[in-house]
Structure 1
């Protein structure tokens, strides 16, 4: 686990199964998954305080991601893309990202093109109060 492989110019690249630990304002994050020659592949899971927070599937340059509430219900899901050049990596959202409320109901959808939000659609019902007065 947590291995490196030497690539061109004697640069070490992550390879094989890895576990990574991060801290955030939400708590302790633990990520587990696989690297191939320095790039994440297949399924990666991120746990927040020992509960599944995010599950991502890496395939070529497309990443399909689902994030979860602490009770395990789906919070959001969508796709992102990683463009890699010789000097840098650029990661961005694309397509529809769906966001759910804590009851599991679809709340809204944000639409992205090359990382730019182009539209959003809300599915939340707004309550309208009508007051009728009888003037008789």
Structure 2
């Protein structure tokens, strides 16, 4: 990865699209892969509620993600794994301000790759997920790189 440079507009759009798709997959129905856990529960309005775990396989040996829902909304800390059981990233949903979360991504060797904040807005016509503020970056050896700065999901000039 080449961190710390400004990406062309098409790469920024595809990067944002990937993150939006990731959020949609997280909020998608249990009927789609990853497979839902039989102990996952719904509330009286058929919204996800309580501890939630999804798997890559029907034998439930490879966890895809795990966290908690409160009446259909993800809350607290969520963990997302690669098929080989490696932690890919963590999301921590903040109570205040609403619809804001702290994200932490990891290198394949388990070391911190980058961290920052994001917002998501869900509407009847769709949703929007975007990064904002400072995103700290690190090499796979753990050394800090230049931070990236985002405003409404758009990468700004790197910090000096």
Matched residue, 1:101: 139
Return 5+ residue gaps in structure 1 as ranges: 123-136
What TM-score, normalized by structure 2, do the two folds share?
0.63
Matched residue, 1:83: 121
* In structure 1, C-alpha distance between the alignment counterparts of 2:100 and 2:116, rounded to whole Å: 11
1:65-91: CA deviation from partner (whole Å, max 9, x where unpaired): 111123221011011001233443211
Q: 1:50 to 1:92 in 2, by over 3 A?
A: same
Structure with bigger strand share is 1
The answer as to 2:89 corresponding to 1:51 is: no
| Count of residues in Structure 1 that have an aligned counterpart in Structure 2 | 114
Please provide the CA RMSD for this pair.
2.1
Map residues 1-136 of structure 1 onto 2, 5 A cutoff: 1-7=39-45, 12-22=46-56, 30-48=64-82, 49-59=84-94, 60-121=98-159
Q: Is the 8 A contact 2:53 2:63 kept in 1?
A: no
Tell me whether 14-23 or 66-75 shows the greater mean CA deviation.
14-23
* In structure 1, C-alpha distance between the alignment counterparts of 2:56 and 2:135, rounded to whole Å: 25
Return 5+ residue gaps in structure 2 as ranges: 1-38
Q: 1:71 to 1:99 in 2, by over 3 A?
A: same
* In structure 2, C-alpha distance between the alignment counterparts of 1:53 and 1:88, rounded to whole Å: 26
* In structure 1, C-alpha distance between the alignment counterparts of 2:141 and 2:153, rounded to whole Å: 28
Deviation at 1:44, TM superposition (A): 0.3
